[in-house]
Chains A and B, each alone.
Chain A
Amino acid sequence: MAQTSSSPSPLQDAWQLFDPAEGWNLKWAGHLLRRVGFGPTWPELQKALSQGPQKTVDSLFQPVPEAEAFNAQMDQWDSSATTLPALRAWQLRRMLETPQPLVEKMTLFWQSHLALGNVRNVPPPLIRDYLRTIRRHALGRLDQLLQAVVLQPAMLLSHGAEANRKARPSEHFAHVLLEHFTVGPGAFTEKDVQETARALTGRFVLRDELRFIEREYDDGPKTLFGQTGPIGAEELFSLLARQPATAKAIARKLYRFFISEAEEPAEALLQPLAERLIQGQTIGQVVETMVRSKCFFSPAAYRRRVKGPVEWALGLLRPMETLVPTEPLGHALVELGQALGEPPTPAGWSDGAHWITPALLLLRGKWAQQFWASGSPFGQKLDPVGLAQRHGASAPSAQAEFLLQLYLQGDMPAEMRNKLLRESQSAGRQTSADALRRLCQTLALLPEFQLV
């Protein structure tokens, strides 16, 4: 069993740097790479293990030289996507191949937090632009992110705010902006909604483009969160980003995403993170603080979050070090409840136990079978035997052990581990390749694998 570091206590120590001397092993390397990416490969795990936590985090947050060329190439390729399924396919392809997994992970995070509304009437190229904007600002300043994303044509169209007239401001969208994107429920009044809507007037989406029509802009003084003046869209986003309630709401959501969704964090735990956001630190800096911390490498964070369908599926497929057909994968994710580009409500995707209802678990079972069926479009690409051999596991028993280390870093109850190894050896008439495929299917459904 892997060594674990002690739980952060007292709270003020929580965000202090984690000391590898407290125990750095494959388990924690896997924990780090799963949280900031999508299912680490064996070389990535080994590299992290040898580099140690802080150097690994350095490499995750530092700009990657090849990232610019990669994103430019992907931007070029996904520009031909004219349907939502095609866009999903390219986003998944990016998640699989990106040299900057954290950026794609945060793009997924913001896609849920700054969620589109009803996308039925939104042309897919606008959704692509929305995603590109998120990607560009995913680790940047909160005010800039809000301004860039909230005023995307896809956002306005999907929330029915494509015409923000002076005579009829879109209070519905203003409500979404305050309740779901910024300060959160209970932190604003009806008057704040009206004033926010007035600040957004003059913005129209015409022929798929955002336009500012001055005569439709309400340039009268507005009073919002105690501040009075001719507040326009730019001032609005800056004001909202500086609100302690916004900072706390974002910090809480980041905590649920990177640390734990098992219990509500104490206010004192969130306060330092929220203060950083208010002081103008970038989202990247705040996330970096979290993933370098003692709290992150503690039992309070380890396997304390349920994998969403994207994390679950890519967690299975990406470690196989091969490309997979991402268009059918997009369909699978829709069935599993996470239709990329199309969150179910303005609150984004639900998390936690919502992802593992009995019905959804059955579907996970179905797709695990599909992924590993040798004749399926996925199964034809996945070669667990070849992968294990490439990494030095030639005997069938070593190959099974390799897969346990790859997917769960061996961190599972000994009884279950032995049972799986036994079953993979006594596969009856199955070939060792079939036995390994079955082992992968089984691993995909273990309780431990549902957690990130």
Chain B
Amino acid sequence: MSDITATAAQQGSPKTSTIAESVIRIAGNSQDGIQAIGGFLARLAGRSEQDVMTFMTIPSTISGGPSIFQVRIGSGEVLSAGDEADVLLCFYDHSYANHISSLKRGGIVLYDSDHVKPNDELLGTYHHIGVAISSLTVEAIGGTGRDKGKNIYALGLIARMFDLNVPKLTKLIEERFGGKDPSIVKNALDCFNGGYGHQIQGLIESFKFEHAVHSGAAQVVMSGNEALAFGIIAAGVRFGAGYPITPWSEVMELLRRELPKYGGTFMQTEDEIAAVSMAIGASYGGRVAVTGSSGPGISLKTEAIGWAVMAEMPLVIIDVQRGGPSTGMPTNQEQSDLNIACFGGHGDSPRVVLAPSSVEDCFYTAIEAVNIARKFSTPVFILSDQAIATRIEAFPCPDLQNICQDISPDFTPVADHKPYDLTAADGITRHIAPGTRVASGKYPVATGLEHDELGHPTGSGKLHMQMNAKRRNKLRKLASEIPVPKIYGATEGHVLLVGWGSSKGPIEEAVKLGRSQGEAVSGLHIKYINPLPENLENLFSGFTHVVVCEINDEGLYGHGQLASILRARYCDPRIKSVTKTDGLPWKVKEILNRALALTK
């Protein structure tokens, strides 16, 4: 976006600049519908084949409270929600006071002059545009005295500023509010048109996005939670159980609503333990089931997950991480459940942990998790987080016809069956579901006690060692099958930035920024956390420093959770750690500056 200064000469009609991308931050209260504005902008970008990424904060209060929604729209690749805003829209004094510093120097602050009194000292730093949004909204919808709809009025203002596609936006508004009372659609359109038609005083420039060059494939726009839930459905899972907890609830709500269409069901249970137990029961019944939660709920599920490891029962566990420990920061981002996902529970209990890197990746990771669970007869964790769960992205519509799976059971009678056969290929257990006839008349038991090959209890130390080895070796086999990640940027250099989960975008952007400044920086994203892919040491060897960037605490010994695992795994003192727990996603500059300072 071109620079704007408040001292620029004002002209009759604003000039139009063509831009490649823009970051718009909307600040208000959570009940003002600011997420709706952001949602419309994101969906419009999706339909215009643009890339989009959003970031939102939600207050953890019961009702209301300050909230923001940030949208970054680009005609090229968008990797993060943006460090600084180009445009700040604020509805209240507190929105102005708290977010003006997130605006880049010379950026535009569009404020509701009915509520916001700008700071005179900042008039020279940012371009201030006041519009009486609240009273104009009331006027636009016929003077009912209520300003409900001011978010849509503000959307109209933004549409004017960015010369957005009005027919497409109108259609989106009709889709969103249609089907209800027709007066609601009319009000919404009146608000939008009111805002769009308003002559913004002091606007010196308007913008037009470059035409996006894309494959032409239709894009879908959704949140990470939605993508996970739809991925689970596409994978063929037809049973799940859960207990409400922020930020996981949205996944279970969607599955509860959608699964019956596919002949499946999702149970809201009395507690987290019942949820995981019920899901394991359904997996035992013959089809992989899903459960999920956020940190506190995962803690409660760990005993049952240990059973699934011992009984080698396939299961998918979604952990939408939030700030911990305990109730912690329920509506903030953190990546601090890596340890519990990998090691939670008593005894030696190897399991699989995957961490999706984007909304699109949430969809595909859900399918992959189901297939790993089936193939290796093991519990699989999906580590999402609050930021990826709530952010909205556009991505190419998946080829559902070829992706959707039917994971039907097989009740074909068998001659004989030993689920825990020690001679099985790669030690991988195959269960037969109840309803399967065994001609020998010897039926297996799924059990949490250490057991023999049929599942009957044993006190033999030798068998315990053999079974422990079996449960561990099958995951070593998995490790040999998972793809080795590729380095983003040059394969040799000064610093390799390593991340996992939702940090992928900001890290790649930090690599781009660093290289543009002449730094020998590259990036590596690790999606398969447990087991780790093979040959990572070869990737590390091209760099003087390996800096793992994680949103968790550096712990007693100065290293974040993944960094600790990598150091233990590779005994490599070049592996260092950059961590934080401020509840917010990484900023690009934050990653780069801290990594460079650490490796000076």
Say whether A and B bind each other. no
Q: Which residues of B contact A (CB under 8 A)?
A: none
